[in-house]
Amino acid sequence: MMQNIGIPGLILVLVIALIIFGPSKLPEIGKAFGSTLREFKNSTKDLLTDDKREPSNQEKSNKE
């Protein structure tokens, strides 16, 4: 989906965000978005590693 936006669309979105939120709020919003994205990535990574560990635990319980 992000591949279809292109450079002109991205510039348009940034200009609209600048108009709506103003130059003082934009860095705060960017920081909040970045920390939310980082937390989401860490959560998905944890879920994937838990899924990889879980089948080995299930195999042990099935053998017993």
How far apart, in whole angstroms, are the C-alpha atoms of residue 38 and residue 55? 27
Distance of alpha carbon 63 from alpha carbon 25, whole angstroms: 58
Phi, psi (5° rounding) for residue 27? -65, -35
Task: Indicate the pTM of the whole model.
Answer: 0.55
Cα(20)–Cα(25) distance, rounded to whole angstroms?
10
User: What digits encode the pLDDT tens for the residues 10-43?
Assistant: 899 989 999 999 989 989 988 999 999 999 999 9
60 vs 17 pLDDT, higher one: 17
Instruction: Give Cβ neighbours of residue 18 (< 8 Å, ≥ 6 apart).
Output: 26
Domain residue extents for the chain = 23-64
